[in-house]
């Protein structure tokens, strides 16, 4: 037995197997957001069909804000939309739900919303995609929960789990 | 019905391979000739079964038998026939089936070659290969079974293969080439294990081993280059290599196989380095497994990844068993193999082979660390990070230049111990060539340090390589009085392996220089043009004429007609957006005009709904065509090196 | 109902500047994250080069593995526009990278920071290369060859030609 070869081989091989094995069960597209616990980036964006009105995030402070980045070209966005509507209704007056449409056209947005149960909370238009970049949006849909003092508490990847959102929201009061 | 038949063949293959693995090892242990014959029959049975299973699936695809789940997943009535046939390897299960079929082919070749040779080593080698076969047959019969029936009710049509794969003819050729390369490494692996266990690695076995590495090495080279070409021609970002985990996965075994080919040249001349050669062959095979795992486990983030699949953990278990078994086997048997060779002199040719191996292994290790580092950090510290092009380029460039340098210096160095006078005489003229190449580069506007270094070492290496090919011819002309043509023919026939090797070197020099130049001097611009509008970029003037819509059975294609004026022109580029029914987003396909000096490359970013305006990404990339030419030269060199030696051809005739 | 919400929401904002006329009115102020621009504003060719310089170091989050400069994906192009905006204002390469890192995490950088455990990424390959070099050197120098150079052939005058002869005859 050549002990040098054995040792060198095992030193190379065992960590490799461990590393490869540890990757299972992790979703390689899930990237924890560095913004959690930080003040939410401020934005001021025009409202879809809002006659030129804008919404400023800081004007909403005092209530939890749930920001959902979406687009009509994103398939999963249609899947989660009913949950969002239900949540917006459930927390009406207590928390503010906002959609931010990313890389999309107003006509498409209108048509899409019409065929997906109508507009139950305002959708803003991310002009120049600056908000999406500031929030670190990668693969749509992604959502953020901002607490009463304007701090990001949670980021949701893909279609939201409404029960998780309820749990997180309730924890804020 | 067809599904059942295919499944039956897969099970037969599994049974044959498992039995053959057992009988092979017993035959190796007992030296029983009868058992070796049984093993050989079983290996034929495996090959036939895999080939039959492959044909069954092709037939199912061809006849659109949607009762087979895999056909309902990748087949489509709308797909043209050639797409239907190649959709066999467009998804995970089918690609494993192709793997099995290719494995069957390689094992059949080895079984035929080794029929009456090396009775001590062959049973171990064949047995090892059959164990690998058994694993893949198990995947096909079990966890990655492509023959499972479609859920009731049987669908009447399917979505067709991934649109990205339907976009280009290269996608038909690239995956099989890569598989031939990957799977083919099972052959040398078995042979190396055979040598280790039997403790015999004589010149004949080494020579056969070298050939067994060279064949899949050639396929792997083609596969990698075609992959780059495909990326360049299809993905539309003007590049051909992104250091993506899956690309790295194909590069890693290529590097170690290259090292093994060079290391295997030493034992046939001097009796050193046997253990090292065997180690490299084992590592190459393990890296092909690792590469397959990377592509199919869903653990790595990659453009090319197959979707998450359940075979990942099974594959990891197999990989782990192979890794540990190889380490144990090497540790226990390597000393039996080591020949009593002498150590080479510091600047002799042997040393340059050692340094070559060192560089290739260092590059392999770096790419491996870079590729797995995000996983390591995630496992160890729960941190997500990326290791991409800037890192790999930074490390790979110096090593690439060093390899290029060695490619020049190595053949110029004498075997044994050279005196200083011989060294100067050997290295002087190529140094002149290096300076000349530098001058040419400077005249063409090359000004970045690494590119300059690449040009200079490329010039040096070219000179040496060409001289190595010309010198024997001149020698024959002078000493034997042959005419140059006859001398060339004879020198070529006698030294075809040598010529093959140097041709491959020429190809690699072209590729490395092309990479350096195209990477350093690529220019791009994004423009929006209205119909009839023109823009100037570099020496070229681009005019957007109109959108030309082409309807095909499986897609609709919007081509932007762009006329280009400038050096090598005028010509027309037709970058397009393809709309497939299965895909949500349109997929772009760029248009390239390749010229010897540069490529003019355009891809469509957007097309206005009224088709009166188009967003274009324009690229001017120098020297890219030399990558493909270099690749072709590598193939030619490999073929030349594999030519049967003259006396054998005489026998055959 | 929805309209009510809208008016409620938009009331404070409506008093401010009208929307979308200029991107900066809508865009975000990077100053709180990365401070004031370190350099002069850029434009023209310098801006294009600077944009590519930075974008090549950023990972396209949707396509995985490709840089923002190269990716044709729309998300990447939006990020590239943001890079251009930052560089135009005079933010340096590093500042622009920091801006993206603040929202996406270190994941967005194609080459991680050279600090802490990340150093292993550069140190281990170098260490392996050095160890290999030491091994080769040791092997080459351990026992100087006792044999002379390969015996010269008949011609003998030029050792290089001898070698060629030897190789093609072998």
Q: What is the pLDDT of residues A146-160, one digit of tens each?
A: 999 999 999 998 888
Helices (H), B231-310: 245-263, 265-269, 274-297
Per-residue pLDDT band for B84 (boundaries 50, 70, 90) equals confident
**How far, in Å, CA of B618 to CA of B309, rounded?**
38
CATH of domain C18-116: 1.10.8.640
C149–B389 C-beta distance less than 8 A? no
User: Do B632 and B596 belong to one domain?
Assistant: no
User: Do B430 and B564 belong to one domain?
Assistant: no
Angle between helices B203-230 and B170-184 (to 10 degrees): 150
Q: What is the pLDDT of residue B585?
A: 65
Helices (H), B481-495: 484-494
Tokens of C58: 């950023």
**How far, in Å, CA of C80 to CA of B605, rounded?**
14
Q: What is the mean pLDDT of chain B?
A: 85
Considering only CB atoms, which chain A residues are within 8 Å of C107? 31
Cβ atoms B594, B612 nearer than 8 A: no
B384–C128 C-beta distance less than 8 A? no
Q: Kindly give, in sequence order, each residue whose CB lies less than 8 Å from that of residue C37, ignoring residues fewer than 6 positions away.
A: C89, C90, C91, C92, C95
Cβ atoms B601, B231 nearer than 8 A: no
> Which residue shows structure tokens 């039996």?
B336
- Which DSSP helix (H) or strand (E) runs through C126? helix C120-142
Chain B contact present for C44, CB below 8 A: no
| SS3 assignment, position A79 | helix
For B8-63, list the strands marked E by DSSP. none
User: Do B99 and B238 belong to one domain?
Assistant: yes
Chain A contact present for B470, CB below 8 A: no
Q: What is the pLDDT of residue C54?
A: 93
Domain range for A87? 3-170
Tokens of B587: 């997929």
Q: What is the pLDDT of residues A102-111, one digit of tens each?
A: 888 888 888 8
Distances (CA, A) of A104 to A108, B110, B530: 7, 58, 21
With vertex at residue B328, the alpha carbon angle to CA B325 and CA B331, rounded to the nearest 5 degrees, is: 145
**How far, in Å, CA of B169 to CA of C40, rounded?**
49
A32–B375 C-beta distance less than 8 A? no
Q: What is the pLDDT of residue B448?
A: 83
Q: What is the pLDDT of residue B345?
A: 62
Q: What is the pLDDT of residue C32?
A: 75
Q: What is the pLDDT of residue B233?
A: 86
Please report whether residue B76 resides in a domain: yes
C79–A41 C-beta distance less than 8 A? no
Tokens of B235: 């993905």
Q: What is the pLDDT of residues B203-225, one digit of tens each?
A: 888 889 999 999 999 999 999 99
Does residue B554 carry a pLDDT above 60?
Answer: yes
Distances (CA, A) of C62 to A128, B143, B603, C76: 18, 30, 19, 8
Which CATH number covers residue A119?
Answer: 3.40.30.10
Distances (CA, A) of A129 to A46, A101, A138, B199, C154: 12, 9, 12, 66, 79
Q: What is the pLDDT of residue B192?
A: 94
Q: What is the pLDDT of residue B140?
A: 92
Tokens of B480: 């034997």
User: Do B509 and B583 belong to one domain?
Assistant: no
> Which residue shows structure tokens 């804008």?
A54
Cα–Cα nearest to B334, from B210, B199, B206, B204: B199
Radius of gyration for the alpha carbons in chain A, expressed in angstroms and rounded: 21
**How far, in Å, CA of B62 to CA of B55, rounded?**
10
Cα–Cα nearest to B373, from A65, A16, A137: A16
Please report whether residue B9 resides in a domain: yes
User: Do B527 and B611 belong to one domain?
Assistant: yes
Percentage above 90 pLDDT, chain B: 38
B491: nearest CB among C135, C150, C168 = C168
Tokens of B333: 């048997």
Cβ atoms B573, B602 nearer than 8 A: yes
Domain range for B83? 2-262+274-295+311-338+350-391
Considering only CB atoms, which chain B residues are within 8 Å of A17? 316, 319-320, 323
**How far, in Å, CA of A149 to CA of A130, rounded?**
22
**How far, in Å, CA of B463 to CA of B460, rounded?**
5
Cis peptide before A20 (omega within 30 of 0): no
Report the range out of B245-254, B340-349, C160-169 with the highest average pLDDT.
B245-254
C66: nearest CB among B303, B391, B475 = B303
A130–C6 C-beta distance less than 8 A? no
Cα–Cα nearest to B412, from B394, B427, B396: B427
Q: What is the pLDDT of residues B567-593, one digit of tens each?
A: 887 999 999 988 876 555 677 889 999
Chain C contact present for A8, CB below 8 A: no
Q: Kindly give, in sequence order, each residue whose CB lies less than 8 Å from that of residue B651, ignoring residues fewer than 6 positions away.
A: none
Mean pLDDT of the region B355-373: 92
Q: What is the pLDDT of residue A28?
A: 65
Per-residue pLDDT band for C161 (boundaries 50, 70, 90) equals low
Percentage above 90 pLDDT, chain C: 21
Q: What is the pLDDT of residues B122-166, one digit of tens each?
A: 999 999 999 999 999 999 998 888 898 887 777 777 777 777 667
Cβ atoms B188, B129 nearer than 8 A: no
User: How many residues does this entry show for chain B?
Assistant: 653
Q: Kindly give, in sequence order, each residue whose CB lies less than 8 Å from that of residue B606, ignoring residues fewer than 6 positions away.
A: B614, B615
| SS3 assignment, position B433 | helix
Tally the domains of chain A.
Answer: 1
CA atoms within 13 A on the CB side of C98: 14
User: How many residues does this entry show for chain C?
Assistant: 170
CA A153 centroid distance within chain: 11
* C59 DSSP 8-state letter: B
ipTM for the predicted complex comes to: 0.83
Per-residue pLDDT band for C6 (boundaries 50, 70, 90) equals very low
Q: What is the pLDDT of residues B8-23, one digit of tens each?
A: 999 999 999 999 999 9
Q: What is the pLDDT of residues A30-58, one digit of tens each?
A: 778 888 888 898 888 999 888 888 889 98
Helices (H), B521-554: none
Cβ atoms B231, C70 nearer than 8 A: no
Q: What is the pLDDT of residue B16?
A: 96
The structural domains of chain C, with segments of one domain joined by +, span 18-116
Higher pLDDT, C149 or A23: A23
| SS3 assignment, position A121 | coil
**How far, in Å, CA of B480 to CA of C31, rounded?**
81
Does residue B507 carry a pLDDT above 70?
Answer: yes
| SS3 assignment, position B152 | coil
Considering only CB atoms, which chain A residues are within 8 Å of B299? 20, 23-24, 26, 28
User: Do B506 and B637 belong to one domain?
Assistant: yes
Percentage above 70 pLDDT, chain B: 91
Question: In this complex, which chains have at least 3 CB pairs below 8 Å with chain A?
Answer: B, C
**How far, in Å, CA of B585 to CA of A104, rounded?**
13
Q: What is the pLDDT of residue B71?
A: 87
Considering only CB atoms, which chain C residues are within 8 Å of B475? 161, 164-165, 168
- Which DSSP helix (H) or strand (E) runs through B565? strand B555-565
Does residue A27 carry a pLDDT above 80?
Answer: no
Q: What is the pLDDT of residue C162?
A: 64
User: Do B541 and B507 belong to one domain?
Assistant: no
Higher pLDDT, B167 or C19: B167
B370-376, long-range: CB < 8 A, 24+ apart:
B370/B243, B370/B248, B370/B395, B370/C121, B371/B245, B371/B248, B371/B249, B371/B252, B371/B294, B371/B300, B372/A16, B372/A19, B372/A20, B373/C112, B373/C120, B373/C121, B374/B301, B375/A19, B375/A20, B375/A22, B375/A23, B375/B299, B375/B300, B376/A19
Q: Kindly give, in sequence order, each residue whose CB lies less than 8 Å from that of residue B480, ignoring residues fewer than 6 positions away.
A: B487
**How far, in Å, CA of C83 to CA of C77, rounded?**
10
Q: What is the pLDDT of residues B385-424, one digit of tens each?
A: 889 888 998 888 888 889 998 888 877 776 666 667 767 7
User: Do B132 and B201 belong to one domain?
Assistant: yes
**How far, in Å, CA of A153 to CA of A162, rounded?**
16
**How far, in Å, CA of B191 to CA of B602, rounded?**
48
Does residue C37 carry a pLDDT above 90?
Answer: no
Report the residue of A16, A30, A77 to disrupt the B interface, i.e. the one with the largest count of B CBs within 10 Å.
Answer: A16
Of A158-172, B483-497, C23-37, C90-104, the range with the lowest mean pLDDT is: C23-37
Tokens of B429: 């003229």
Question: In this complex, which chains have at least 3 CB pairs below 8 Å with chain B?
Answer: A, C
User: Do B101 and B158 belong to one domain?
Assistant: yes
**How far, in Å, CA of B518 to CA of B595, rounded?**
13
Does residue B351 carry a pLDDT above 70?
Answer: yes
Does residue C153 carry a pLDDT above 50?
Answer: no
Q: What is the pLDDT of residue C152?
A: 39
Tally the domains of chain B.
Answer: 3
Tokens of B22: 């057992």
Q: What is the dihedral of CA B433, B439, B440, B446, to 10 degrees?
A: 130
Pairing of strands A65-70, A96-101: parallel
B343–C143 C-beta distance less than 8 A? yes
Q: Phi first, then psi: give them for residue B652, nearest 5 degrees.
A: -60, -35
Considering only CB atoms, which chain A residues are within 8 Å of C3? none
**How far, in Å, CA of A34 to CA of C100, rounded?**
11
Q: What is the pLDDT of residue C28?
A: 65
Report the residue of C6, C33, C135 to disrupt the A interface, i.e. the one with the largest count of A CBs within 10 Å.
Answer: C6
Q: What is the mean pLDDT of chain C?
A: 72
Q: What is the pLDDT of residue B47?
A: 96
Distances (CA, A) of C141 to B346, B359, B500, C134: 7, 19, 32, 10
Per-residue pLDDT band for C164 (boundaries 50, 70, 90) equals low
| SS3 assignment, position C43 | coil
Higher pLDDT, B647 or B148: B148
Helices (H), B537-596: none
**How far, in Å, CA of B278 to CA of A105, rounded?**
61
Pairing of strands A123-125, B540-551: unpaired
């Amino acid at each position: 037995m050549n002990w040098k070869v054995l040792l060198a081989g095992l030193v190379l091989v065992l960590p490799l197997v461990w590393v490869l094995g540890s990757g299972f069960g992790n979703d390689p597209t899930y990237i924890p957001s560095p913004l959690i616990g930080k003040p939410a980036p401020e934005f001021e964006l025009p409202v879809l069909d809002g006659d030129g009105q804008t919404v400023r995030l800081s004007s909403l402070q005092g209530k939890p804000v749930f920001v959902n980045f979406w687009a009509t070209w994103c398939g999963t966005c249609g899947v989660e939309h009913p949950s969002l509507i239900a949540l917006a209704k459930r927390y009406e007056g207590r928390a503010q739900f906002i959609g931010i449409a990313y890389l999309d056209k107003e006509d498409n947005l209108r048509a899409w919303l019409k065929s997906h149960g109508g507009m139950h909370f305002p959708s803003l238009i991310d002009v120049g995609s600056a908000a999406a970049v500031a929030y670190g949006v990668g693969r749509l849909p992604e959502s953020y929960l901002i607490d009463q003092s304007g701090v990001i508490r949670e980021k949701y990847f893909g279609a939201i789990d409404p029960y998780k959102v309820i749990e997180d929201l309730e924890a804020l009061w | 019905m067809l599904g059942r038949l295919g499944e039956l063949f897969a099970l037969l293959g599994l049974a044959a391979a498992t039995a053959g693995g057992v009988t092979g090892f017993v035959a190796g242990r007992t030296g029983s000739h009868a058992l070796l014959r049984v093993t050989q029959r079983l290996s034929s049975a495996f090959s036939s079964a895999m080939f039959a299973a492959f044909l069954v699936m092709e037939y199912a695809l061809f006849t659109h038998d949607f009762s087979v789940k895999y056909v309902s997943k990748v087949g489509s009535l709308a797909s043209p026939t050639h797409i239907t046939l190649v959709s066999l390897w467009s998804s995970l299960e089918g690609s494993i089936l192709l793997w099995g079929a290719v494995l069957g082919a390689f094992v059949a070749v080895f079984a035929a070659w080794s029929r009456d040779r090396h009775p001590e080593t062959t049973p171990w080698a064949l047995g090892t290969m059959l164990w690998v076969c058994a694993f893949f047959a198990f995947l096909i019969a079990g966890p990655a079974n492509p023959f499972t029936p479609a859920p009731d009710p049987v669908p009447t049509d399917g979505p067709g293969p991934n649109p990205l794969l339907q976009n280009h003819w290269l996608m038909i050729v690239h995956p099989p080439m890569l598989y031939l390369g990957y799977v083919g490494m099972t052959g040398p692996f078995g042979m190396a294990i055979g040598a280790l266990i039997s403790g015999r690695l004589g010149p004949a076995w080494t020579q056969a081993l070298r050939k067994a590495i060279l064949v899949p090495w050639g396929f792997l080279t083609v596969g990698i280059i075609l992959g780059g070409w495909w990326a360049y021609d299809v993905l539309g970002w003007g590049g051909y290599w992104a250091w993506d985990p899956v690309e790295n996965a194909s590069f890693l075994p290529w590097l170690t196989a290259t090292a093994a080919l060079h290391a295997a040249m030493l034992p046939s001349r001097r009796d050193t380095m046997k253990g090292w050669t065997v180690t490299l062959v084992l590592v190459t095979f393990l890296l092909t497994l690792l590469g397959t795992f990377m592509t199919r486990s869903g653990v790595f983030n990659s453009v090319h990844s197959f979707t998450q699949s359940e075979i990942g953990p099974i594959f990891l278990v197999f990989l782990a068993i192979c890794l540990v078994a190889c380490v144990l086997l090497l540790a226990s048997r390597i000393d039996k193999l080591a020949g009593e060779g002498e150590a080479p002199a510091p600047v002799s040719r042997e040393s340059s082979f050692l340094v070559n191996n060192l560089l290739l292994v260092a590059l392999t290790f770096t790419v491996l660390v870079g590729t797995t580092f995000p996983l390591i950090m995630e496992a160890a510290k729960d941190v997500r990070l990326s290791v991409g092009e800037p890192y790999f380029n930074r490390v790979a460039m110096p090593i690439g230049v060093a390899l290029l340098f060695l490619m020049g210096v190595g053949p110029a160095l004498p075997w044994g111990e050279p005196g200083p006078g011989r060294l100067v005489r050997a290295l002087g003229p190529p140094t002149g060539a290096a300076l000349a190449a530098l001058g040419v580069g400077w005249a063409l506007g090359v000004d970045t340090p690494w590119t300059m270094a690449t040009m200079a070492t490329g010039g040096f290496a070219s000179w040496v390589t060409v001289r190595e090919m010309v010198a024997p011819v001149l020698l024959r002309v002078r000493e034997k009085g042959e005419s140059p043509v006859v001398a060339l023919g004879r020198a070529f026939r006698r030294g075809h392996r040598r010529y093959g090797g140097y041709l491959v070197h020429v190809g690699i020099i072209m590729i490395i220089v092309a990479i350096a130049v195209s990477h350093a001097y690529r220019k791009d611009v994004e423009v929006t043009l209205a119909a009839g509008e023109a823009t100037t970029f570099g020496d070229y003037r681009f005019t957007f004429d109109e959108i030309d819509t082409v309807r095909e059975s499986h897609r609709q294609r919007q081509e932007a007609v762009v006329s280009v004026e400038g050096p090598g022109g005028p010509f027309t580029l037709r970058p397009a957006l393809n709309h497939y029914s299965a895909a949500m987003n349109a997929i772009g396909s760029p248009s390239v005009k390749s010229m010897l000096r540069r490529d003019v490359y355009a891809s469509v970013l957007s097309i206005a709904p009224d088709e009166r305006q188009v967003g274009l990404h324009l690229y001017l990339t120098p020297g890219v065509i030399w990558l493909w030419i270099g690749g072709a030269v590598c193939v030619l060199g490999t073929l030349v090196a594999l030519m049967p030696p003259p006396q054998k051809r005489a026998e055959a005739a | 109902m929805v309209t009510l919400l809208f008016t409620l929401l938009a009331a404070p904002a409506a008093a401010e500047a009208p929307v979308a006329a200029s991107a900066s009115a809508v865009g975000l102020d990077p100053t709180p994250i990365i401070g004031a621009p370190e350099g002069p504003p850029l434009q023209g060719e310098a801006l294009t080069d600077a944009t590519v310089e930075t974008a090549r170091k950023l990972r396209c989050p949707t396509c995985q593995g490709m840089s923002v400069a190269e990716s044709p994906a729309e998300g990447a192009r939006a990020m590239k526009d943001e890079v251009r905006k930052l560089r135009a204002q005079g933010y340096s390469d590093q500042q622009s990278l920091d801006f993206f890192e603040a929202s996406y995490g270190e994941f967005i950088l194609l080459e991680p920071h050279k600090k802490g455990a990340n150093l292993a990424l550069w140190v281990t390959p170098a260490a392996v290369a050095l160890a290999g070099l030491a091994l080769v050197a040791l092997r080459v120098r351990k026992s100087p060859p006792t044999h002379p150079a390969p015996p010269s052939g008949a011609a003998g005058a030029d050792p290089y030609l001898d070698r060629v002869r030897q190789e093609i005859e072998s």
